[in-house]
């Protein structure tokens, strides 16, 4: 049975493309590994897969017992594919904070504080002198441009930029032009329902004793989301009630203006007030310069919760 | 201020030697890193340091706030130097299971399921084409021979053996002869008190809701410990009462016979019965072939606790 390589639930471009890239690396090194996904592919990722003519990974909703698995782009139990607790976790390749990782046995873990898992995967190809297929270079490039929002995110490091430029050469695309087209393909609400908007690219977190969901949607004009705010708040209430979250936040991130409007529902709102030093009596706050959940939202909420 | 490289509390040969080795690697790569220790150096490690004429790392009992630190040979909070929660954790290089690792931000983590942290450190020298000083090769070799008990432990992998043989060449020692002399220097009770015996190479663990301490002493004849069993059990009771452990286990490991007598005090003893399928009505159980806490004791207790 093949080893599964899988990203997080509600996969973004990095989770899909790093899974495909790492599975390709493992195959080139003689291991029987195959990329899978545990959720729907988003519009942006579809654009990248279509552009480089790669099929989306097979959907697996729950791992069978004893399945050997490699996690990419996440390490927190709440974000992982169902059935992971009974499976055999072999490796983790990631670029996020650790959220309570507990394993029965030692395993191979490689994490780095870089902007994208694909940057780590690309360097693994080069460190091991493995020739990278053109389409894999294109997918890893897509992941970096997505996670760093074309280098604009504060999570972006020189290592990400170096990898992206090298990958663009291999893939044969003009980096900025391709990246902007990909981001635009993924941005905006399109025909998403308020519930789908509230759950776009969502990840669960524990902040102190509070169970939170933090979603993020990229737009080129925040008003297309804010105009639907009341319906989105009603959907957030429904998610809180049904899934047991204390609080839900939706980052509406303007990739042109480089700012986020953070829409929230639930309690304690004071956590948001403490984290960002803002008045939270309205339904949302404006956060200029904020583009990264990982660097500009989650640590601030984690620290605020620790002092709560 | 230098970056500190530190092993676990109650350091063993791997924690001291991998800290020295990784600090030397960082220095060779132009970073200001220095090895420290957060506990006394044991007899075995003293032998290795004396043999290769290396001074022991400076003792630091508590980190100051914002101190930058790299952890080697551990990742569990309970095993870490005091003050780590207020310090800045930069990296973890380790070969143990994960025990609830939580960080505010992403960091560099490199763990592998090998027998010794020093094996990972040695390969980092070679992967980065950094020339390894002879005495560092000797110390990293010592750590591998210690953790794998001269390759006899089931934790020992081909990667450990390959590294050890290469290191012995660089250090200019005959591997088996040196290793046996080092292990013998560290084995036995010498003039240790019953309390010191009960705490030899001890590590705290959480098994389900139970707080446990698992210590290990290497001997060439188990009777020298078992003859003092009543005094050691009294010391274990004292540790439980004073430090709030539910249960304490002492692995008395015969490095010649390749077996462990596991002496225990506290409750629930049924956890030990379930983990090893033995009658626990006495004060200790005999476990033939058992040499590794990490592979043959901790996972079994973790699994038993999960079903408790």
CA B137 to chain centre: 19
Going by DSSP bridges, is the β-strand pair B259-266/B247-254 parallel, antiparallel, or unpaired? Answer: antiparallel
Mean pLDDT over residues A299-305, rounded?
A: 92
Q: Which residue has the tokens 């490689």?
A: A110
Query: Is B74 near chain A, with CB under 8 Å?
Result: no
Could you tell me which of A79, A97, A99, A68 has the C-alpha nearest to residue A204?
A79
Q: Rounded to whole angstroms, how far apart are CA atoms B261 and B202?
A: 16
Per-residue pLDDT for A119 more than 90?
A: yes
The dihedral over CA atoms of B110, B173, B294, B25, expressed in degrees to the nearest 10, equals -20
Residue among B109, B127, B294 minimizing CB distance to A111:
B109
Contact A104 B294 (CB under 8 A): no
Instruction: With beta carbons under 8 A apart, name residues in chain A contacting B106.
Output: 94-97, 111-114, 294
3-state SS, one letter per residue, for A232-285:
HHHHHHHHHHHHCCCEEEEEEEECCCCEEEEEEEECCHHHHHHHHCCCCCCCEE
Contact A97 B112 (CB under 8 A): no
ipTM of the complex: 0.86
Mean pLDDT over residues A220-247, rounded?
A: 96
Buried b (16+ CB within 10 A) or exposed e, A84-100: beebebbbbbbbbbbbe
Q: Rounded to whole angstroms, how far apart are CA atoms B308 and B288?
A: 25
Residue B203: beta bridge partners?
A: B214
**pLDDT, tens only, A21-66:** 999 999 999 999 999 999 999 999 999 999 999 999 999 999 999 9
pLDDT of residue B37: 98
Could you tell me which of A74, A31, A39 has the C-alpha nearest to residue A56?
A39
**pLDDT, tens only, B193-219:** 999 999 999 999 989 899 999 999 999
Paired tokens of A88: 């055999």
B96, B103, B119, B147, best to mutate vs chain A, most A CBs in 10 Å: B103
Average pLDDT over all residues of chain A: 95
Q: Rounded to whole angstroms, how far apart are CA atoms A31 and B193?
A: 52
Query: Is B246 near chain A, with CB under 8 Å?
Result: no
Q: Are A208 and A102 in contact (CB under 8 A)?
A: no
CA A216 to chain centre: 9
Contact A113 B108 (CB under 8 A): yes
Distance from CA of A53 to the nearest CA of B (A): 32
Domains of chain A as residue ranges with CATH: 3-185 (3.90.1640.10), 194-306 (3.10.310.20)
pLDDT of residue A308: 83
Name the stretches of chain B with pLDDT < 50.
none
Q: Rounded to whole angstroms, how far apart are CA atoms B198 and A75?
A: 36
Query: Is B95 near chain A, with CB under 8 Å?
Result: yes
Q: Which residue has the tokens 């560099």?
A: B108
Q: Rounded to whole angstroms, how far apart are CA atoms B282 and B284?
A: 6
Please name the helix (run of DSSP H) or strand (run of DSSP E) that holds residue B92, with its range, or none: strand B88-94
B105, B115, B156, B295, best to mutate vs chain A, most A CBs in 10 Å: B105
Query: Is A303 near chain B, with CB under 8 Å?
Result: yes
**What is the reported pTM?**
0.88
Going by DSSP bridges, is the β-strand pair A3-6/A68-72 parallel, antiparallel, or unpaired? Answer: parallel
Q: Which residue has the tokens 């025990």?
A: B99
Q: Rounded to whole angstroms, how far apart are CA atoms A49 and A38?
A: 17
Q: Which residue of A has its CA nearest to B73?
A: A106
Q: Which residue of B has its CA nearest to A299?
A: B104
Task: Identify the top-confidence range among A108-117, A254-263, B297-306.
Answer: A108-117
Q: Rounded to whole angstroms, how far apart are CA atoms A67 and A155?
A: 33
Cis peptide before A271 (omega within 30 of 0): no
Per-residue pLDDT for A211 more than 90?
A: yes
Q: Rounded to whole angstroms, how far apart are CA atoms B229 and A220?
A: 73
Sign of CA dihedral B78, B81, B87, B93: negative
**pLDDT, tens only, A167-192:** 999 999 999 999 999 999 999 898 89
Distance from CA of A111 to the nearest CA of B (A): 5
Instruction: With beta carbons under 8 A apart, name residues in chain B contacting A299.
Output: 104-105
Per-residue CA distances from A106 to A79, A178, B155, B290 (Å): 21, 41, 10, 18
Residue among B102, B106, B295 minimizing CB distance to A95:
B106
CA A130 to chain centre: 26
pLDDT of residue A105: 87
pLDDT of residue B228: 95
Paired tokens of A300: 């601030």
Query: Is A109 near chain B, with CB under 8 Å?
Result: yes
Contact A109 B98 (CB under 8 A): yes
Coil/strand/helix, residue B27? helix
**pLDDT, tens only, A131-167:** 999 999 999 999 999 999 999 999 999 999 999 999 9
pLDDT of residue B191: 86
Q: Rounded to whole angstroms, how far apart are CA atoms B214 and B293?
A: 8
Contact B99 A96 (CB under 8 A): no
Contact B109 A109 (CB under 8 A): yes
Sorting pLDDT into bands at 50, 70 and 90, what band is A252? very high
Could you tell me which of A49, A27, A19, A35 has the C-alpha nearest to residue A142?
A49
The DSSP line for chain A is -PEEEE--SS--HHHHHHHHHHHHHHHHTT--EEEEESSPPPHHHHHHHHHTT-PPPEE-SBPPTT-EEEEES---GGGSPBTGGGSEEEEEEE-S--EEEE-SS--EEEE-SSS-HHHHHHHHHHHTTPPPPHHHHHHHHHHHHHHTTTTTSTT--HHHHHHHHHHHHHHT--HHHHHHHHHHHH-S-TT--HHHHHTTT-EEEEETTEEEEEEEEEES-THHHHTTHHHHHHHHHHHHHHHT-SEEEEEEEETTTTEEEEEEEES-HHHHHHHHT---SSSEEEEET---HHHHTHHHHHHHHHT-
């Amino acid at each position: 049975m093949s080893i599964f390589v899988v990203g997080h639930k509600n996969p973004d471009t990095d989770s899909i493309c790093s899974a495909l890239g790492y599975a390709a690396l493992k195959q080139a090194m003689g291991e029987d590994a195959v990329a899978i996904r545990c959720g729907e592919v988003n519009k942006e990722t579809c654009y990248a897969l279509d552009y480089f003519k790669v099929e989306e990974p097979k959907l697996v909703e729950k791992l069978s017992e004893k399945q050997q698995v490699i996690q990419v782009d996440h390490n927190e139990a709440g974000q992982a594919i169902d059935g992971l607790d009974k499976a055999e976790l072999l490796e983790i390749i990631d670029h996020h904070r650790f959220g309570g990782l507990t394993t029965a046995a030692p395993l191979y873990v490689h994490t780095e504080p870089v902007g994208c898992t694909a940057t780590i995967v690309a360097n693994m190809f080069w460190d091991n002198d493995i020739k990278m297929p053109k389409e894999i270079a294109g997918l890893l490039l897509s992941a970096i441009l997505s996670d760093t929002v074309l280098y604009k995110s504060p999570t972006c490091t020189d290592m990400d930029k170096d990898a992206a430029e090298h990958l663009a050469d291999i893939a044969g695309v003009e980096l900025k032009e391709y990246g902007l087209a990909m981001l635009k393909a993924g941005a905006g609400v399109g025909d998403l329902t308020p519930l789908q908007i509230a759950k776009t690219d969502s990840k669960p977190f524990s902040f102190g004793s509070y169970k939170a969901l933090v979603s993020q949607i990229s737009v080129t004009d925040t008003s297309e989301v804010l105009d639907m705010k009341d319906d989105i708040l009603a959907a957030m209430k429904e998610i809180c009630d049904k899934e047991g979250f204390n609080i839900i936040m939706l980052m509406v991130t303007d990739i042109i203006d480089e700012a986020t409007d953070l829409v929230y529902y639930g309690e304690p709102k004071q956590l948001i007030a403490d984290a960002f030093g803002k008045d939270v009596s309205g339904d949302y706050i404006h956060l200029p310069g904020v583009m990264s959940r990982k660097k500009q939202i989650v640590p601030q909420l984690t620290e605020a919760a620790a002092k709560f």
